[in-house]
């Protein structure tokens, strides 16, 4: 169970949600877990990371700096779809009788299997076995495998393989988390039916982005009697007819190869060649690579929990989907819903840097590096955005984007979240502290840091010797356009300090590259002195009467929203934003998030006071919230609360806690579960060039373990009620700290649990 997601019965009510649960992807290409034979309900989907269409953003009143165009991840041609007929009766789980049914997602290998025993209305009993996987060997490749066996007599089988380019995106005009309109966005350039192959080449109407897919077939077993072909403007199909006796089988493999197109690129020839190569190599060749890829992944990051199988399943499920949905090429990122659905229109947010990047930094740092590289590759667009927002210099990264340009039309809870800049900067700091990757700083990290630091000098100002930042929105989207958001200010202070460190580090150790960069961006030493002054004199609001850190200058002067009497959640779907902005009510962790990310800067007594106050006014309407409250609760000794919040986080999608898993996974929450285990119960902290652990065991668990990659060493942490064991699985001896006790870890070290 811990490595598998099993569906033992077909339930119409769960079908749309399970399209997300059983989705597969490899970071470039993703497919929802729809049935091969289709269904009368649900929303089928196939997505290419970073592939989008443009749309006009319409305003009643438009002001300077408002984005004029949005970007929406589009649903590309569907290769999953087949129609299967038995003596001209169509196979459909909504008709006939389901005798046996099981769908199994194997997370160790990334393979989805479905096995069915079905009786048609005419009494034919058929066993059908479906398999599919999205290849990590070839990023554009999907394999589908089918076995069909009549169990109680002879039958004519017609197997129709469909390549459908007439697809649309999902929409819901009443939910701001989903696109509001659905329309055909493609024009078909080529649509070919070949001998055993299908091919389509399409272009988006406005962004002029092109892609193609080649669908190839191999009949492994079966008495083929004839083939038929059908084609129209945006789709085509091949029908294979077979005659089968009782217990004879048809075995068919389909491989679909997707690729982006472009100027002077001979897409058809390329895809035909790659499809032939996949055909020759065969299903098992790619399956063996798939197993090896996942084996290496799990070897670096697997967790174990003894005492709660459902929880362990949830954590592994989350890690599985984070890996699958994350771009790994430096030109794509990870959308809030991954590659599993169209919620938030496929946009990339700050979720990547704050929640998801830490997971990869400490398990697969090469993927983390590619995510940082994405921000460098969109730096010029961030600089353009800064100018649009009337800043004289620097870079302002977009709140919502696919291509690097801002596409958030609601600026109070979008563009105003300037903290995206310091989130990116702090993620570079975290990456460097864990990897010592100086090359990243030299090639692109430093330039990001310097340009984002410049923006703060043009955004904030000094009053009475203190640096203040007005007119921004922090992580809490129920509080907008305020002055001196605590989270933003303290994160800016830390990012400025790190920028100064990197400036001096490059100047001393990479002077040639340093001079080249300084000349490229025309950075003056006086600017760096301003960064020092601002970071050292950052204003952080504090309420002396309540003895708590204030979320912003005005937050504590507002009336408190009585959440105990409130019944309409999430609030954003029931109240106008202005109503929310007038109260002390938080959608998600804000100040508490700052205290989690920078907990080495805070006294535990202060965190406890802040936690006690802000917990009462936080709705957790955002899935980003509960994991942070769990970590903070662990830190201050609220172990029962820590566990309860953790449980709310771990199975958010599997148990559909927010009621919208149908729109795609909650990717940041998934990574937050891993943070909750390692930073929360494991007490992991990295600062001052050292790694610290303060492990605790929840009452419900007998033991648990996790793995961390730190400075090219793989450290395994095992915790039970009596002992804590640290093992060095890979790399040279390393210094670690256990509750501030120094340990030189050379092989393994075992201590009594407190």
CATH number of the domain to which 154 belongs = 2.70.98.40
Residue 662 and residue 545 share a domain: yes
pLDDT attached to residue 173: 54
Residue 139 and residue 258 share a domain: yes
588 assigned to a ligand binding site: yes
The answer to whether residue 242 sits within a structural domain is yes
The answer to whether residue 290 sits within a structural domain is no
Cis peptide before 552 (omega within 30 of 0): no
Residue 580 and residue 524 share a domain: yes
Residue 606 and residue 467 share a domain: yes
Question: Structurally, how many domains does the chain consist of?
Answer: 2
Predicted confidence (pLDDT) at residue 378 exceeds the cutoff of 90: yes
* Number of neighbouring beta carbons within 10 Å of residue 24: 23
* Token pair of 597 as six digits: 């990310």
The answer to whether residue 402 sits within a structural domain is yes
Give the span between the Cα atoms of 209 and 261, in whole angstroms.
7
3-state secondary structure of 488: helix
The answer to whether residue 255 sits within a structural domain is yes
Residue 124's domain comprises: 4-267
Residue 337 and residue 211 share a domain: no
Give the span between the Cα atoms of 278 and 259, in whole angstroms.
14
* Token pair of 542 as six digits: 């504090």
Residue 353 and residue 213 share a domain: no
Residue 513 and residue 376 share a domain: yes
The answer to whether residue 116 sits within a structural domain is yes
Predicted confidence (pLDDT) at residue 177 exceeds the cutoff of 50: no
The answer to whether residue 333 sits within a structural domain is yes
**What angle, 0 to 180 degrees and rounded to 10, lies between the N-to-C axes of helices 639-650 and 309-325?**
50
Residue 129 and residue 67 share a domain: yes
When pLDDT is averaged across residues 473-492 and rounded to a whole number, the result is: 98
The answer to whether residue 204 sits within a structural domain is yes
- End of a domain among 211, 243, 267? 267
- C-beta separation of 607 from 636 below 8 A: yes
Residue 320 and residue 257 share a domain: no
The answer to whether residue 281 sits within a structural domain is no
Separation in Å, CA 570 to CA 399, 513, 575: 21, 50, 9
When pLDDT is averaged across residues 171-188 and rounded to a whole number, the result is: 64
Residues 699-745: pLDDT tens digits?
999 999 999 999 999 999 999 999 999 999 999 999 999 998 999 99
Give the span between the Cα atoms of 272 and 276, in whole angstroms.
6
Strands 690-693 and 734-738: parallel
For residue 318, what are the contacts with CB-CB under 8 A and spacing of at least 6? Answer: 650, 653, 669, 670, 671, 673, 674
pLDDT attached to residue 180: 47
- End of a domain among 215, 247, 267? 267
Give the span between the Cα atoms of 531 and 456, in whole angstroms.
9
Predicted confidence (pLDDT) at residue 667 exceeds the cutoff of 90: yes
- End of a domain among 252, 267, 282? 267
Instruction: Please report where in the chains the tokens 């004289």 appear, as a residue.
Output: 392
Residue 352 and residue 263 share a domain: no
Give the span between the Cα atoms of 478 and 447, in whole angstroms.
33
* CATH assignment of the domain containing 387: 1.50.10.10
Give the span between the Cα atoms of 352 and 468, in whole angstroms.
27
pTM for this entry? 0.96
Please provide the average confidence, as pLDDT, over all residues in the chain.
96
606 assigned to a ligand binding site: no
Predicted confidence (pLDDT) at residue 754 exceeds the cutoff of 80: no
* Number of neighbouring beta carbons within 10 Å of residue 239: 16
171: pLDDT confidence band, cut at 50, 70 and 90?
A: low
Give the span between the Cα atoms of 656 and 311, in whole angstroms.
14
Cite the active site residues. Answer: 477
* Dihedral Cα 493, 496, 498, 499, nearest 10 deg: 170
Residues 92-141: pLDDT tens digits?
999 999 999 999 999 999 999 999 999 999 999 999 999 999 999 999 99
Residue 241 and residue 317 share a domain: no
Residue 311 and residue 246 share a domain: no
587 assigned to a ligand binding site: yes
Maximal CA-CA distance, the chain? 90
350 assigned to a ligand binding site: yes
């Amino acid at each position: 169970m811990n490595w598998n997601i099993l569906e033992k019965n077909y339930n119409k009510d769960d079908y749309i949600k399970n399209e997300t649960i059983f989705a597969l992807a490899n970071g470039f290409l993703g497919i929802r877990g729809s049935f091969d034979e289709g269904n009368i309900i649900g929303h089928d989907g196939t997505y290419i990371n970073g592939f989008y269409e443009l749309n006009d953003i319409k305003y009643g009143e438009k002001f300077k700096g408002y984005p004029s165009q949005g970007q929406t991840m589009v649903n590309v041609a569907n290769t999953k779809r087949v129609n299967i007929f038995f003596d001209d009766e169509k196979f459909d789980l909504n008709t006939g009788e389901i005798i046996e049914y099981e769908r199994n997602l194997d997370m160790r290998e990334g393979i989805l299997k479905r096995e069915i025993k079905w009786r048609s209305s005419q009494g034919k009993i058929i066993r059908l076995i479906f398999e599919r996987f999205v290849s990590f060997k070839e990023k554009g490749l999907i394999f589908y495998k089918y076995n069909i066996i009549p169990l109680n007599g002879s039958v004519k089988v017609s197997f129709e393989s469909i390549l459908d380019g007439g697809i649309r995106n999902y929409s819901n005009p009443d939910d701001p988390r989903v696109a509001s309109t659905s329309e055909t966005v493609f024009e078909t350039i080529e649509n070919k039916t070949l001998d055993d192959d299908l091919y389509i080449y399409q272009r988006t109407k406005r962004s002029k982005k092109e892609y193609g897919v080649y669908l190839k077939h191999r009949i492994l077993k079966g008495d083929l009697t004839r083939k038929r072909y059908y084609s129209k403007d945006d789709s085509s199909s091949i029908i294979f007819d077979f005659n089968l006796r009782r217990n004879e089988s048809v075995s068919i493999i389909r491989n679909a190869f997707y690729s982006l197109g472009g100027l002077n690129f001979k897409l058809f020839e390329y895809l035909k060649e790659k499809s032939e190569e996949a055909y020759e190599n065969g299903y098992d060749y790619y399956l063996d690579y798939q197993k090896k890829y996942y084996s290496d992944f799990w070897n670096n990051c697997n967790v174990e929990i003894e005492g709660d199988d459902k929880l362990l399943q949830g954590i592994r499920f989350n890690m599985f989907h984070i890996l699958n949905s994350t771009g790994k090429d430096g030109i794509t990122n990870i959308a809030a819903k991954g590659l599993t659905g169209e919620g938030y229109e496929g946009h990339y947010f700050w979720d990547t840097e704050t929640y998801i990047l830490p997971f990869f930094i400490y398990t697969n740092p090469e993927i983390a590096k590619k995510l940082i590289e994405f921000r460098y590759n969109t730096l010029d667009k961030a600089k353009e955005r800064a100018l649009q927002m009337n800043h004289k210099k620097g870079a302002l990264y977009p709140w919502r984007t696919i291509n690097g340009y801002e596409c958030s039309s609601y600026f109070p809870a979008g563009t105003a979240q300037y903290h995206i800049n310091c989130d990116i900067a702090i993620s570079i700091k975290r990456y460097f502290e864990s990897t010592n990757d100086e090359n990243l700083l030299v090639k692109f990290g430093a330039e990001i840091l310097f340009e984002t630091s410049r923006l703060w000098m043009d955004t904030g100002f000094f009053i009475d010797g203190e640096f203040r930042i007005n007119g921004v929105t922090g992580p809490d989207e129920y509080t907008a356009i305020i002055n001196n958001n605590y989270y933003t200010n303290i994160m800016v202070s830390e990012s400025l300090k790190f920028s100064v460190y990197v400036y001096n580090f490059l100047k001393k150790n990479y002077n040639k590259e340093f001079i080249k960069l300084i000349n490229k961006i025309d950075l003056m030493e006086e600017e760096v002195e301003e960064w020092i002054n601002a970071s050292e004199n950052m204003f952080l609001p504090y309420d002396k009467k309540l003895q708590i850190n204030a979320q912003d200058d005005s937050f504590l002067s507002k009336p408190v929203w009585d959440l105990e009497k409130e019944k309409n959640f999430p609030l954003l779907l029931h109240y106008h934003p202005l109503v929310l902005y007038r109260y002390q009510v938080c959608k998600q962790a804000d100040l508490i998030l700052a205290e989690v990310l920078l907990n080495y800067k805070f006294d535990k007594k202060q965190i406890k006071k802040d936690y006690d106050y802000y917990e009462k006014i936080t709705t957790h309407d955002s899935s980003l919230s509960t994991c942070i409250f769990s970590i903070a609760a662990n830190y201050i000794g609220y172990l029962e609360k820590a566990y309860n919040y953790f449980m709310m986080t771990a199975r958010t999608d599997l148990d559909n806690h927010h009621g919208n898993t149908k729109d795609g996974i909650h990717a940041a929450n998934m990574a937050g579960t891993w943070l909750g285990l390692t930073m929360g119960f494991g007490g992991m902290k990295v600062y001052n060039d050292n790694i610290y652990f303060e492990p605790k065991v929840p009452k419900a668990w007998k033991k648990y373990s996790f793995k961390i990659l730190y400075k090219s060493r793989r450290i395994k942490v095992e915790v039970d009620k009596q002992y804590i064991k640290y093992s060095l699985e890979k790399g040279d001896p390393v210094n670690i700290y256990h509750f501030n006790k120094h340990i030189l870890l050379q092989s393994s070290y075992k201590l009594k649990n407190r």
